[in-house]
Chain A
Amino acid sequence: MLAAAVTALTAVTAAHALGQVNAWPSKTAPKRFSIRGHVDGLMPGKRSPLVLTIRNPWSRTIRVTSVGARIGPSGRPCQLRNLTVSRFRGSLVVRPRSIRRLVLSAGLRAGAPAGCRGATFGLTFHGTAVRR
């Protein structure tokens, strides 16, 4: 039992050292495509581009039909309603095992209070696609 634990720990450490930790086990296809992105320097009353990176992990082309974001609390006296993030509805083709960029927009409400200065809101993205 101890030997097995030591072996497993060693394997993880080695994988990290090589920088080749797979996001998913090699024999298991991921269930979802990934969406990542962030935006800095938001100012009241102005919208800024929120550049998203969409990664298709599958061996088939997908057509992304919608992407949205759920806004999480910033931990500051700045209510969620002060931040808005646009949604995407349309058709964005992402080829097999490749990455495409999608630009949404984010903005702080014009009357955002001083508590919003420097606030960082967590964003959780969700999207739908059709696999071809």
Chain B
Amino acid sequence: MSRLLTPKRVALLAVAVVLVGSSIAIGAWNATGSGTGYAKAGTSSSLTLGDASASTVADLYPGSTGNVKITVTNPNPFPVSITTVTQTASTSITSDKGASCNSSTGVTFTTQSSLSLALAAGATNTFTLTGAVAMSNASANACQGAVFSIPVDVSAVSNA
């Protein structure tokens, strides 16, 4: 045996060869997989408004504020949280007194934001928006005893 290949060096070399061989053998038995797909979100249905009107006619008089009650139905299969109620754009507040009052109701609706009104999946509920409506001195005399209708839009987020 040459001076380079002493028994000790041969043994170490053999161990090294075995180790390298083992790692190759193990690596050959592993496999990887790959592929593609997708995840598609469903679409939600719009909330349904059942009613939006001043809670009681007695609440409103010139210079005062009153409550608004809204009845909302959630047709979705998941609960939602109502966050905002605004008067529908380009609409007017009307009354059951007809043109004599509608020409100058003096009634305004204040946008309700940062709300957190929970509504369960498939449920209908009535919410009171405190102080959301006001009547000014511009209200016609014909509006006495009137019930006002306020077209509103309701925004909500999922609340599962």
Q: Which A residues are within 8 Å of any B CB, using their own CB?
A: 31-46, 50, 52, 54, 58, 62, 64, 67, 69, 71, 74, 78, 83, 85, 106, 108, 110-114, 116-132
Instruction: Check A111 against B39 for contact (C-beta < 8 Å).
Output: no
Closest to B77 in A: A43
**B2 at the A interface (CB under 8 A):** no
Instruction: Check A110 against B31 for contact (C-beta < 8 Å).
Output: no
Chain B contact residues, majority secondary structure: strand
Supplied contacts A125-B37, A130-B29, 4 more A-B pairs, CB within 8 Å:
A39-B40, A52-B37, A120-B40, A124-B34
- How far, in whole Å, are A33 and B30 apart by their CA atoms in the complex? 11
Given B34, B42, B77, B157, which contacts A113 in the complex, CB threshold below 8 Å? B157
The 25 listed contacts between A and B (C-beta, < 8 Å) are A32-B32, A34-B34, A35-B33, A35-B35, A36-B35, A38-B38, A38-B40, A42-B41, A42-B42, A43-B160, A44-B78, A46-B160, A64-B33, A111-B157, A114-B44, A117-B42, A121-B40, A123-B39, A125-B35, A126-B34, A127-B32, A127-B33, A127-B34, A129-B30, A131-B31
Residues of A within 8 A of B33 (CB): 32-35, 54, 64, 67, 125-129
Q: How large is the interface on B (under 10, 10 to 19, 20 to 34, 35 or more residues)?
A: 20 to 34
Residues of A within 8 A of B34 (CB): 32, 34-35, 124-127
Instruction: Check B37 against A36 for contact (C-beta < 8 Å).
Output: yes
**B23 at the A interface (CB under 8 A):** no
Interface residues of B in 10-43 (CB under 8 A from A): 29-43
